[in-house]
């Protein structure tokens, strides 16, 4: 995902409502999120679907890594040799 450009990617809700189609096109082309403000405060972020999916994938991967690190720190990991032998044993059956 591209970084937000503060001078281009923050729009008031009224401007967004008046030009929805052009903002959607811009989001699709630039791959940058659009921040919508309401009453002068940030209210929503709009992303291209592909950018959202990538964001969710990254979050899931980071969560899996964190869970694995916690398990290893608790001594719940399995030695590489043991896993390799288990997998090879299953393949040979």
Taking the CA of residue 79 as centre, how many other CA atoms within 13 Å lie in the half-sphere pointing to its CB?
3
pLDDT in tens, 39-62: 999 999 999 999 999 999 999 999
- pTM, rounded to two decimals: 0.70
User: Between β-strands 34-38 and 10-12, what pairing exists: parallel, antiparallel or unpaired?
Assistant: parallel
Helix (H, G, I), strand (E, B) or coil at 34: strand
Report d(CA 86, CA 6) in Å as an integer.
53
What pLDDT sits at residue 10? 94
The pLDDT tens digits for 14-32 are: 999 999 999 999 999 999 9
For the chain, which domains are there? 10-74 (3.40.1620.10)
């Amino acid at each position: 995902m591209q970084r937000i450009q503060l001078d281009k990617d923050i729009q008031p809700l009224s401007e967004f409502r008046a030009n929805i189609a052009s903002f959607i096109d811009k989001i699709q082309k630039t791959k940058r999120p659009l921040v919508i403000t309401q009453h002068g405060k940030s209210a929503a972020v709009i992303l291209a679907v592909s950018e959202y999916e990538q964001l969710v994938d990254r979050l899931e991967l980071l969560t899996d890594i964190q869970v694995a690190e916690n398990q290893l720190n608790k001594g719940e990991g399995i030695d590489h040799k043991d896993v390799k032998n288990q997998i090879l044993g299953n393949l040979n059956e």
